[in-house]
Structure formats: structure tokens, C-alpha cells
């Protein structure tokens, strides 16, 4: 008898949950707005300058064609596109607006916590980012959708509106 009373009491709750579930499935999220021509052009410029730096040496504190560290690379690429940024990754992380990592577009910045420090990567699309990793290495493309990267992701920022 108690089981029947319990089942009757739970019925409205289960129906409400089912209605919410079905209703939630009926409303697909709106597709993102396509970028304006000016935004698309700026993102393309950032992407081209980013990719042109692949193979340059890592240089601690570097921010020019002789070599880059992660934030120096970002600062250089954005300066080439007419956007001024502070010097360090920690400072750069406070610029622009937060975006969800899944919504990041080419040219957006992804910030990581690695070995207690800040690291910044320029997102280039398709789960890849360009960064200056560490001494002895060169500016390279990383597969940032891999678990090692996802576990260290701190935030994503867009400086392009």
C-alpha cells in the first residue's frame, strides 16, 4: 500500500521532469552570429601573423622576430593587428571579454595554469593553438583539445568584437 501511495505522490514530479526534458530538447540553441566583415578580416590578419611565427625560437621575455615567449608572441601578433596588450600572460588574461572555450574563435586567447604559472595560447581553430612553449623549443602548434591541455585550461578571452 505504501508503495502505491509513493508512486502516486511521485507521478506529478516525474511528469514535470519529463515535460522539462522534452521542452529543453525542443529549443536548440541559436547558431552564433557570423562575424562582421571587419571582424572576419581582423581575425584573418591575426591568424596569418600567428602562423607566420611558427618555428621561431623560444626566448624568455622575447617579443620580436628573434624569438618569443608565450605572452610576447601574443603581444607581437596583436600589435601587428593594431591592438595593444600588456606584456605578461597574467596581465593579458584581464583584457577583452570572457568566452566559453567551446565558443572560442580563431584569434581568441586561451589561458592555462602550467606548473603554477600563466601560459597563453592563440587559438587557430579545429582544437589547435599556437604558442611559444619553453626554452629549447620553438613556436609551435599544439593539439589543445587533448586531456593534458583541457585539465590546465583556466579561461578563454576574446579581444575582438
Q: Which CATH number fits domain 37-158: 3.40.50.720, 3.20.20.70, 3.40.640.10, 3.90.1720.10?
A: 3.90.1720.10
Burial (CB count within 10 angstroms: exposed 0-12, middle 13-18, buried 19+), residue 74 = buried
The mean pLDDT of the chain is 87
Q: Label residue 131 exposed, middle or buried (CB < 10 Å: 0-12, 13-18, 19+).
A: buried
128-146 mean pLDDT: 97
Contact 123, 108 (CB under 8 A): yes
Q: Compute the distance between CA of residue 92 and CA of residue 109 in angstroms, rounded to an integer.
A: 9
pLDDT digits 0-9 by tens, 93-121: 999 999 999 999 999 999 999 999 999 99
* pLDDT computed for residue 31 by the predictor: 60
pLDDT in tens, 26-61: 455 556 677 899 999 999 999 999 999 999 999 999
pLDDT tens sequence across 64-91: 999 999 999 999 999 999 999 999 999 9
Q: What is the pLDDT of residue 35?
A: 81
- The grid coordinates of residue 136 equal 629549447
Domain ranges for the chain, please list them. Answer: 37-158
Q: Does the pLDDT of residue 12 top 80, yes or no?
A: no
User: What is the set of active-site residues?
Assistant: 70, 119, 131
CA distance 124 to 39: 15
**Is the model's pLDDT at 22 over the cut of 90?**
no
CA distance 10 to 138: 61
Amino acid at each position: 500500500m505504501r508503495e502505491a501511495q509513493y508512486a502516486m505522490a511521485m507521478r506529478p514530479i516525474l511528469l514535470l521532469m519529463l515535460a522539462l526534458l522534452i521542452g529543453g530538447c525542443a529549443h536548440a540553441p541559436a547558431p552564433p552570429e557570423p562575424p562582421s566583415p571587419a571582424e572576419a578580416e581582423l581575425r584573418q590578419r591575426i591568424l596569418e601573423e600567428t602562423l607566420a611565427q611558427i618555428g621561431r625560437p623560444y626566448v624568455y621575455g622575447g617579443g620580436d622576430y628573434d624569438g618569443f615567449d608565450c605572452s610576447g608572441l601574443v603581444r607581437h601578433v596583436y600589435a601587428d593587428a593594431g591592438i595593444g596588450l600588456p606584456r605578461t600572460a597574467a596581465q593579458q588574461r584581464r583584457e577583452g571579454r570572457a568566452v566559453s572555450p567551446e565558443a572560442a574563435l580563431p584569434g581568441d586567447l586561451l589561458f592555462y595554469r602550467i606548473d603554477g604559472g600563466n601560459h597563453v595560447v592563440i587559438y587557430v581553430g579545429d582544437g589547435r593553438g599556437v604558442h611559444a612553449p619553453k626554452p629549447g623549443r620553438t613556436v609551435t602548434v599544439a593539439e589543445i583539445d587533448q586531456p593534458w591541455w583541457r585539465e590546465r585550461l583556466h579561461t578563454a578571452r576574446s579581444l575582438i568584437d
